[in-house]
């Protein structure tokens, strides 16, 4: 029976809750390790990392970027595209990013870096619920009998 071993990234807000805006604009990322088999999966937090792009923007992140409403001109602007690659420096060793919404450039950047985005419903606020939603939605839970926090 094949086991699961993977790292996932979760964007966090300033209160360490699941960040529901474009993850490119999140203050922090939590990196979780997931392991297990078809009958039992556990997850634990490995580390919490600052988002370097968030720290670089001293005046705050533009609302248009939070809401993923960049126009076509901005989506094709090379500087804007390159800014999105800062996310790979932070979560590049992960298999998935859990996100409620994301812009086209975030999607392209992560795809180019080998990271898949798994969409999480925007009503979710707790990271534990986001992880469980991912596990169930990604079909890991077909035969799982127990999902628990290993921390």
Torsion 2-6-12-15 (CA) sign: positive
* pLDDT, averaged across the chain: 82
The region of weakest confidence among 75-89, 98-112, 136-150 is 136-150
- Edge-to-edge strand ranges of the sheet holding 116-119: 116-119, 96-99, 4-12, 28-36, 40-50, 146-149
Q: Are 117 and 110 in contact (CB under 8 A)?
A: yes
Question: pTM for the full model?
Answer: 0.80
CA distance 18 to 145: 25
- 146 dihedral zone (left: phi>0; alpha: psi -120 to 50; beta): beta
Asked if residue 139 has pLDDT above 70, the reply is: no
Mean pLDDT for 20-48 is 90
Site of tokens 């999902």:
147
In this prediction, residues 103-132 reach a mean pLDDT of: 91
* φ, ψ dihedrals at 17, nearest 5°: -105, 165
Confidence at residue 141, expressed as pLDDT on a 0 to 100 scale: 46
pLDDT of residue 68: 53
């Amino acid at each position: 029976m094949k086991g699961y071993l993977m790292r996932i990234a979760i964007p966090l807000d300033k209160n360490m809750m699941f960040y529901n805006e474009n993850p490119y604009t999140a203050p922090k990322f939590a990196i979780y390790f997931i392991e297990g088999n078809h009958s039992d999966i556990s997850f634990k937090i490995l580390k919490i990392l600052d988002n370097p792009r968030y720290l670089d923007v001293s005046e705050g992140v533009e609302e248009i970027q939070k809401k993923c409403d960049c126009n076509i001109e901005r989506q094709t602007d090379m500087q804007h595209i390159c800014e999105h690659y800062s996310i790979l420096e932070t979560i590049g060793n992960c298999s998935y990013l859990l996100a409620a919404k994301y812009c086209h450039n975030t999607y392209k950047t992560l795809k180019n870096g080998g990271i898949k985005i798994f969409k999480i419903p925007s009503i979710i606020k707790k990271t534990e619920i986001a992880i469980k939603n991912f596990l169930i939605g990604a079909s890991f839970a077909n035969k799982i009998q127990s999902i628990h926090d290993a921390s």
